[in-house]
């Protein structure tokens, strides 16, 4: 079975069909030729080179590139001279197809597209890094990472031809009013190859769009803990969509920012290890508080001090409730395969019940009532050669977040300032744990982690 | 320009060519038809499905798969019924092409092939893990990792149809006499897609073959420190070949075994960070010695004890010379872009000059003369609140390996047993370093690291 395809001018198409139908009249009636038809408004896109037939993979690269770019190939022709491979595509897809092939062929570069949602400190640092690292990524990794969209809660800018990261905030200022539906719809319809969304917000609304994005072959890279801590059914849909569409969903920065935690766990699991216990300090703010507490500071004093240094949320109760640590623990637990919900995390809140409401000032004042209790707890731990830390713990399938007395001699001892630490014990790391420690928050290390996730995602997307 | 291709039986080919030449006699003479020719011993391989023309990417996947598998596509035909895409290939490539397409299409699995060199403790553990993890990798990651070769210094076994990991050692026992040239030649000629060699030896002879393998599109995954510590010119050829051929060269396990070190550095660099200082303990044996020394053991005693526990090489001088640590430091330094040779590493050997030769027993006896000196050094450090460690350090472009007194309060304090630790300070991890700590040697964690590297390599290979 064979289709023979001739390219003629649109104006001649009708006459050509009529002429061929007349010439093949007998064959058409016998069924030897099934039909003669014209595809209007088409164009031929060719790759030309020496000895192309003897270079296995060139045709593959060409059609794979067109496929990834969402270009419909209507017909394929290999020239008799063995110097070209041609594809017939719709007229309105020519520019798109040629641009994609230019990227794929001469320099063998990988082209990937990025849309960033969120222009807080992390989002803005990421834009800086995208601009600064673009030449190195192109030279060193043949990766052409193009920004095509930016949005925050007020405005949005979209441009398939690319937005220079340095101009992005200005372009956003001149952009349309923010409309998440319209933003997502534009991405879904853009057919840009290796398209990834960076969600640099803390918004549940944005997180609820991930499944839709992934199902349409759009990657998601995020430090936003929301999506992975929604109900388990949504979490499973996320994972399933990413796997089915072979598209990257990377959230390394949700736990301990740029430190290598999620990919380390993934590597352990993929090589067949079984995680037995995860223990760690996942809040820089609380790490700082307990260091000061250990040094003899009163609890209320340490909280006020941390707030003055900008280490806490505007209302420090948002840190002291332990909710952020509980979310990180939930993400870790799900990553190692536990079917758990947020409600399964036992959380010790450091906010006394009667101080849960009211102004921040009243809260800080009221907290002084607890200083004596804290002093006693610290002393009791010290008497046993231990120190207090606010720890997240996964053990025997149970998740708990709260204050624990840790005996001297552990990696917790060396913690400085607001550093985080994670201790992973597994079948293979059984006697002594695998430990990762360092600054686990901050715009710089988070944005750097996002960029590393983006590069990995672009490499992995087919 | 169009080539029209008809498939006829080989026996009819000559007659078909003659008939077409007669029919197109006038066109051939005018040059409207350039030539009529037969490609003997060819076959048509087709992918059949509903509405294939409207599924962008199917043709791409098909030709990309054939290209990766090294199959020459002689002609391409899209059926008029829009239900199939066909390729003409050489007869002797049919089985190969169909097998590759079966893998690529129905389950959308990634097929990768592995040949393992070295059947020491690490190589054997890797074979166990390959067998144990195969079902999970196939289900969870759609990765079909097939063992096709195994060799050690005595024998080798090769089979393109796959070798069950559980049978591999038995197959090796019945295999041919080892011949590295023949082994490599078989791999180069196998045209197996996503082929990777695991070098689980410590051989420089094997390491010298990496460039050749990479240049032929074969990935290399290894814990063998040799290749990365040969001269800089070879190192650069390695990196260049891997980059040019877009093929994976992974050596995460050369430094601190399965702990996340090399990929962590790579992520930092790719996101534009600048490494300022790397400091660490890269020898479990020496970590153990200095822990015992700090606990008051005599140096000669600690060495004899470590040897009795199997923590040292048969001749402990192979550890005490610091050569292994120097190599790891060289690998780290080159990874962060320093153009350095082994000779640029200043190494403090712990083997007294006059004990460099002679039997192990004489060495252990002679070492007692140094006990008093060591005791003094330990005491001097202790007087300043510090402890001695055998440290590798990269700072200001200089590499040094030797004994250093480290003040209390550092992550070194929490080291247990034979654990390793690395402290990475960079522009972004400036105030406090990024720390990775844990067991940095052993067959289990090394083999697990190799398997994780293999999975990453298979994912990244095009």
Q: How far is B239 from B355, CA to CA, in rounded Å?
A: 39
Q: How far is B62 from B261, CA to CA, in rounded Å?
A: 37
Residue given tokens 């430094």 in the structure block? B255
Res A357: pLDDT: 94
Each residue of A366-378: b (16+ CB within 10 Å) or e?
A: ebeebbeebeeeb
What's the average pLDDT block by block, 10 residues per block, for chain A (462 residues)?
78 93 92 88 80 67 78 73 77 82 63 95 97 87 91 97 95 97 95 92 97 94 97 95 88 97 95 96 96 95 95 94 97 97 97 94 96 96 96 97 94 89 96 95 95 92 74
Q: Which of A353, A136, A360 is nearest to B268 (CA)?
A: A136
Cβ B435–A437 below 8 Å, yes or no?
yes
For A107, which residue in chain B has the nearest alpha carbon?
Answer: B244
Q: Are B68 and B217 in contact (CB under 8 A)?
A: no
Q: Which of A275, A281, A282 is nearest to A425 (CA)?
A: A275
B439 touches chain A (CB under 8 A): yes
Res A2: pLDDT: 67
Judged against a pLDDT cut of 90, whether residue B307 lies above it is answered with: yes
Considering only CB atoms, A1 lies closest to which of B79, B129, B439, namely B79
Work out the minimum CA distance from A174 to partner chain B, whole angstroms. Answer: 29
A73 touches chain B (CB under 8 A): yes
Work out the minimum CA distance from A200 to partner chain B, whole angstroms. Answer: 17
Rounded average pLDDT over B346-353:
96
Work out the minimum CA distance from A215 to partner chain B, whole angstroms. Answer: 16
Residue B88: beta bridge partners? B44, B75
Count of Cβ atoms closer than 10 Å to residue B77 Cβ: 23
Count of Cβ atoms closer than 10 Å to residue A108 Cβ: 12
The Cβ-side half-sphere exposure at A101, using a 13 Å CA radius, reads 21
- Give the E-state strand segments of A249-385 in sequence order: 249-250, 275-281, 345-347
Lookup: tokens for B79:
């059926």
Q: How far is A23 from A5, CA to CA, in rounded Å?
A: 15
Backbone angles phi and psi of B346, in degrees to 5 = -80, 115
Q: How far is A144 from B453, CA to CA, in rounded Å?
A: 25
Cβ A414–B410 below 8 Å, yes or no?
yes
Q: Are B439 and B175 in contact (CB under 8 A)?
A: no
Q: Is B306 exposed, middle or buried (0-12, 13-18, 19+ CB in 10 A)?
A: buried
Considering only CB atoms, A439 lies closest to which of B132, B246, B432, namely B432
DSSP structure string for A371-435: HHHHHHHHHHHHHTTEEEEEEEEEETTEEEEEEEEEETTSGGGG--TTEEEEEEEESSS-SS-EE
Q: How far is B270 from A454, CA to CA, in rounded Å?
A: 10
Cβ A428–B258 below 8 Å, yes or no?
yes
Q: Indicate the average pLDDT of chain B.
A: 91
B107 pLDDT band (50/70/90 cuts)?
very low
**Least confident residue range of A224-238, B69-83, B439-453:** B69-83
B240 touches chain A (CB under 8 A): no
Q: Is B350 exposed, middle or buried (0-12, 13-18, 19+ CB in 10 A)?
A: buried
Residue given tokens 């032929």 in the structure block? B216
Work out the minimum CA distance from A336 to partner chain B, whole angstroms. Answer: 13
Lookup: tokens for B193:
């897609």
Judged against a pLDDT cut of 50, whether residue B128 lies above it is answered with: yes
Res A107: pLDDT: 46
Res A350: pLDDT: 97
Contacts of A2 in chain B (CB under 8 A): 4-6, 77, 79-80
B270 touches chain A (CB under 8 A): yes
Residue B116: beta bridge partners? B150, B198
Q: Are A30 and A37 in contact (CB under 8 A)?
A: no
Q: Which of A69, A153, A152 is nearest to A113 (CA)?
A: A69
Residue given tokens 């294939």 in the structure block? B52
Contacts of A432 in chain B (CB under 8 A): 416-417, 419, 438-439
For A5, which residue in chain B has the nearest alpha carbon?
Answer: B2
Torsion angle defined by CA atoms of residues A216, A220, A224 and A229, in that order, rounded to the nearest 10 degrees? 60
Instruction: For residue A60, give the H/E element and its range.
Output: helix A58-68
Residue B328 annotated as catalytic = yes
**Percent of residues, chain B, with pLDDT higher than 70:** 94
DSSP structure string for A202-270: --HHHHTTHHHHHHTT-EEE----HHHHS-HHHHHHHHHHHHHTT--EE-GGGTTTTSS-HHHHHHHHH
- pTM higher than 0.90, yes or no? no
A248 touches chain B (CB under 8 A): no
Q: Is A231 exposed, middle or buried (0-12, 13-18, 19+ CB in 10 A)?
A: exposed
Contacts of B57 in chain A (CB under 8 A): 64, 67-68
Lookup: tokens for A395:
């053990």
Give residue-wise pLDDT tens across range B359-405: 999 999 999 999 999 999 999 999 999 999 999 999 999 999 999 99
Q: Are B84 and B66 in contact (CB under 8 A)?
A: no
Cβ A260–B5 below 8 Å, yes or no?
no
């Amino acid at each position: 079975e064979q289709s023979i395809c001739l390219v003629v001018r649109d104006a001649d198409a009708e006459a050509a069909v009529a002429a061929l139908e007349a010439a093949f009249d007998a064959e058409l009636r016998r069924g030897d030729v099934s039909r003669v038809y014209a595809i209007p408004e088409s164009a031929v896109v060719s790759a030309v080179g020496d000895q192309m037939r003897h270079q296995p993979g060139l045709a593959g690269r060409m059609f794979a590139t067109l496929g990834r770019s969402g270009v419909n190939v209507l017909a394929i022709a290999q020239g008799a001279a063995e110097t070209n491979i041609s594809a017939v595509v719709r007229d309105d897809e020519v520019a798109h197809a040629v641009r994609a092939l230019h990227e794929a062929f001469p320099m063998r570069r990988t082209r990937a597209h990025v849309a960033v949602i969120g222009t807080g400190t992390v989002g803005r640092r990421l834009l800086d890094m995208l601009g600064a690292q673009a030449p190195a990524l192109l030279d060193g990794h043949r990766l052409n990472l193009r920004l095509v969209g930016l949005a925050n809660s007020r405005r949005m800018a979209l441009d398939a031809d690319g937005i220079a990261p340095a101009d992005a905030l200005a372009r956003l200022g001149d952009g349309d009013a923010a409309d998440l539906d319209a933003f997502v719809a534009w991405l879904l319809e853009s057919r840009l190859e290796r398209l990834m969304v960076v969600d640099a917000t803390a918004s549940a609304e944005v997180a609820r769009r991930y499944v839709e994005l992934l199902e349409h072959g759009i990657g998601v890279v995020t430090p936003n803990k929301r999506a992975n801590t929604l109900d388990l059914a949504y979490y499973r849909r996320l994972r399933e969509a990413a796997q089915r569409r072979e598209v990257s969903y990377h959230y390394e920065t949700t736990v301990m920012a740029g430190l290598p935690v999620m990919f380390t766990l993934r590597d352990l699991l993929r090589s067949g290890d079984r995680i037995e216990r995860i223990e760690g300090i996942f809040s820089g703010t609380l790490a700082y508080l307990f260091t000061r507490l250990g040094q003899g500071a009163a609890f209320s004093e340490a909280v006020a001090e941390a707030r003055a240094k900008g280490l806490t949320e505007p209302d420090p109760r948002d840190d002291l409730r332990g909710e952020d640590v509980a979310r990180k623990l939930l993400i870790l637990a799900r990553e190692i395969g536990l079917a758990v919900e947020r409600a399964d995390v036992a959380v010790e809140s450091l906010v006394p019940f009667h101080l849960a409401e009211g102004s921040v000032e009243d809260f800080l004042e009221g907290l002084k009532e607890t200083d004596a209790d804290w002093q006693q707890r610290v002393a009791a731990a010290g008497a046993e050669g231990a120190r207090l830390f606010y720890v997240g713990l996964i053990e025997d399938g149970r998740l708990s977040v709260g204050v624990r007395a840790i005996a001297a001699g552990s990696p917790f001892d060396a913690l400085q300032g607001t550093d985080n630490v994670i201790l992973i014990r597994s079948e293979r790391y059984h006697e002594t744990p695998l430990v990762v420690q360092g600054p686990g928050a901050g715009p710089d290390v988070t944005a750097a982690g996002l960029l590393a996730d983006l590069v990995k995602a672009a490499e992995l997307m087919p």
